[in-house]
Structure 1
Amino acid sequence: MTILDGGLSNALEARGHDVSGALWTARLLDESPAEIAAVHRAYFAAGADVATTASYQASVPGFVEAGMSQTYATELLRRSVRVAREVAEEAPGRLVAASVGPYGAYLADGSEYRGRYGVSASVLRDFHAPRLALLETEDPDLIAVETIPDIEEAEVLVDLLDDIGLPVWFSYSCAGTRTRADQPLADALA
């Protein structure tokens, strides 16, 4: 049995941080990476085997839109894995899962809950490929693709993940037996 950590945003809010806004928890990669490390440490102390990075909502375009340089934005995305890795090394046997949220999380308009962003597969590929490549450079133990709302985005991600070669867990955001984009979950899982 593998025990996953809990929600990063809830834990950071409990520590007094406001994680509202377009960058969500990723904002603290810039402002207070030590707080993210403290949450990873607390989850390990509670028995978690895996630390999920603060990269769910993080992307170079998102950081750039928030006023950061391309170089610094790249550093922040990579930092998400390094922070978790440093804490995991304090507790041998613990794993680091690089979190990859949906394109809609970057949009920060609630569309991660409905999918169907009105963009092509190539736009999704151009968004996800560099982010995955940057996360991979920091040697996470696995990739955690989280709360994908529709099949089209999942297909793009699966193709990209095949090239990475790391273990992956993949989760959909669902409403009953359908994706949030109202597609049959059975089709999505296939």
Structure 2
Amino acid sequence: MSNKAVKQRLKERLVLDGAMGTELEKLNVKTNDALWSANALIDNPEAIYQVHADYFKAGADIAITDTYQANVDAFAKVGIDHEQAIALIKSGVKIAKQARDDFDPDGLVAGCIGPYGAYLANGAEYTGDYDLTFTEYQNFHQEKIEALIAAGADLLSVDTIPNFAEVKALVKIIDSLPDAIPYWISLSVKDPETLSDGTPLTEVVSWLAKQPKIAGIGINCTKIENITPIVKLIHGITDLPIIVYPNPGDIYDPKTKTWTTVPHLDTFNREVPVWLTAGANIIGGCCRTTPVDIEQISKIIKK
């Protein structure tokens, strides 16, 4: 599919998939270390395929690759050399594409790029508490982005970005590539008005809305209750596609790399129609969501 066709599809109402890591845990993949779900790229690609397949069967139109935590530096820490690391990143796209081809030939595969904070594996993707130069961000992100594009991703899903300087760096990196593909930037927030690093969300969204090549703005891995005011904020600034994929509101412990279930005050069944009315058009789930959740979202969007 051409870049133009992908950007046009992103303006439609589409269903995004759900959590990867917590679904892999159900398939006995180890996720409580610095590599998190990327462990499965090394020794259990069949489990990744199964998760993608389950989401496509549940009605997802877009699969996000299992590469959020996959990067050259992280793999190096466990003894994986540069060439093999790039191959593993590319394999995340190939697995998702195979599931797409088997269950929904019209589906899209989004190559996932996580923040530098995820590599730190200390919860910094929820605080934005790091300060890198543009060159440092480029050295960390660009090679992975190029690998995802080379492997044939239809678009890039830039997830859980908590730091405004990193937002700007990622946009500059992607926009400068001669073979760049459509992408969205999805933000990690402190609250409905503030990026995780403390920057006012209106400032971030206003800046993103002026970038000529961006294909959408998202919000992910925040509790369901935060979504409606953020969608209204984004929609009040730009007509770009709005992508939302919250978690159910459970609590993550970055030290143990585990989640604690808390009572869920809200549901997808109740809120998805509200989000659609507010201006969101691509909806899925993040950590702790399941194929059952995606099936519920699909029934609402596609009814």
Q: TM-score, structure 1 length as denominator? A: 0.96
Q: Name stretches of at least 5 consecutive residues in structure 2 with no aligned partner.
A: 1-12, 207-303
Task: Tell me the residue number matched to 2:245.
Answer: none
Structure 2 Cα separation of the partners of residues 116 and 13 of structure 1: 28
Identical amino acids, percent of aligned pairs:
36
Task: Tell me the residue number matched to 2:217.
Answer: none
Q: Higher RCO, 1 or 2 (CA under 8 Å, sep at least 6)?
A: 2
Task: Tell me the residue number matched to 1:167.
Answer: 182
Residue 157 (str. 1) matches residue 173 (str. 2):
no
Structure 2 Cα separation of the partners of residues 62 and 117 of structure 1: 17
Residue 181 (str. 1) matches residue 174 (str. 2):
no
Equivalent residue runs for 1:1-190 within 5 Å: 1-90=13-102, 91-164=104-177, 165-176=180-191, 177-190=193-206
Q: How many residues align?
A: 190
Bigger drift between 155-164 and 137-146 goes to 155-164
- Indicate if the aligned counterparts of 1:150 and 1:188 stay in contact, CA closer than 8 A: no
Structure 2 Cα separation of the partners of residues 70 and 17 of structure 1: 23
Q: Secondary structure at the match of 1:175?
A: strand
- Indicate if the aligned counterparts of 1:97 and 1:140 stay in contact, CA closer than 8 A: yes
Structure 2 Cα separation of the partners of residues 39 and 154 of structure 1: 29
- Indicate if the aligned counterparts of 1:52 and 1:97 stay in contact, CA closer than 8 A: yes
Bigger drift between 61-70 and 142-151 goes to 61-70
- Indicate if the aligned counterparts of 1:40 and 1:84 stay in contact, CA closer than 8 A: yes
Structure 1 Cα separation of the partners of residues 62 and 15 of structure 2: 7
Pairwise CA RMSD: 1.1
Q: Name stretches of at least 5 consecutive residues in structure 1 with no aligned partner.
A: none
| 1:113-139 Cα deviation digits (max 9, x unpaired) | 111313222111111111111111011
Structure 1 Cα separation of the partners of residues 148 and 173 of structure 2: 13
Displacement of 1:14: 2.4
Structure 2 Cα separation of the partners of residues 53 and 5 of structure 1: 10
Structure number with greater Rg is 2
Q: Secondary structure at the match of 1:127?
A: helix
1:178 aligned partner, one-letter code:
T
Structure 1 Cα separation of the partners of residues 194 and 84 of structure 2: 39
| 1:28-87 Cα deviation digits (max 9, x unpaired) | 001100100000000000000111101101101111111112111111011111111111
- Indicate if the aligned counterparts of 1:102 and 1:148 stay in contact, CA closer than 8 A: yes
